[in-house]
Structure 1
């Protein structure tokens, strides 16, 4: 099983990046690989219309460490843990998302990485043009 750490530097404070990225209402604006439509809060979980169908997403509780890890339960019932961090960087913040191959083919793994790269680019673009 391979893992790939994908990152982007963002010229905003880690706190601003964390607050924007952790707000469920902002997910459709930057996380097209996860949220392609409506989001419904159900307790601590989010029911999200995604490109994969409806998924259940549970983020770790709000924290001061920049941790945005989240479990995604797919329509198949499989749960995937995604590791996502907002780190301090000399030029603002750096976001780091870990993609794991798990049972994906090499082609599907590369496709997932490309989707995450596009989402991180979108997050960077939105934050650097908004704040």
Structure 2
């Protein structure tokens, strides 16, 4: 099983990146590989329609360390743990998402890593537009 760290540098503070990415209501705006619909809540469990079907998501508790690890329980009942970190970077923040191959074949693993990269690109665009837009936009 291989792992790949997919990361993007975002010209925004680590705190603002973490706050945006940790807010479940923002998931459909940037995490298309996970959430393609509004998030519904049942206690600490989030439910979303994803490319894999309806999945549940559980994030670690809010923290000041920039840890956004989350478990995704697939329709099959299998649970995938996704390590995600928001860390300080000289240009703002860096988001690092660890993609694990698990039971994916090589082509599926490549597609999964590509999707994560596209999602992180979308996150970067959203946050960098927010820091350069005039107030009220």
Q: Tell me, yes or no, whether TM beats 0.5.
A: yes
Contact 2:4 2:98 in 1 (8 A): yes
What is the match of residue 58 of structure 1?
Answer: 58
CA RMSD of aligned residues (A): 0.5
- What is the DSSP-based 3-state SS (H/G/I as helix, E as strand, rest coil) of the residue aligned with 1:35? coil
Shift of 1:82: 0.1
What is the match of residue 126 of structure 2?
Answer: 126
Contact 2:14 2:94 in 1 (8 A): yes
TM-score normalized by the length of structure 1: 0.99
CA displacement 1:83-104 (0-9 Å, x = unmatched): 0000000111000000000110
CA displacement 1:49-89 (0-9 Å, x = unmatched): 11111000000000000000000000010000000000000
**Aligned counterparts, 1:13-28, within 5 A:** 13-28=13-28
Over 4 Å off, 4+ runs = none
Find out whether 1:109 has 2:112 as its counterpart. Answer: no
Distance 2:5 2:91 in 1: 20
What is the match of residue 134 of structure 2?
Answer: none
CA displacement 1:28-51 (0-9 Å, x = unmatched): 000000000121011111011111
Distance 1:125 1:5 in 2: 20
Instruction: Report which of the two structures shows the higher radius of gyration computed on alpha carbons.
Output: 2
TM-score normalized by the length of structure 2: 0.94
- What is the DSSP-based 3-state SS (H/G/I as helix, E as strand, rest coil) of the residue aligned with 1:124? helix
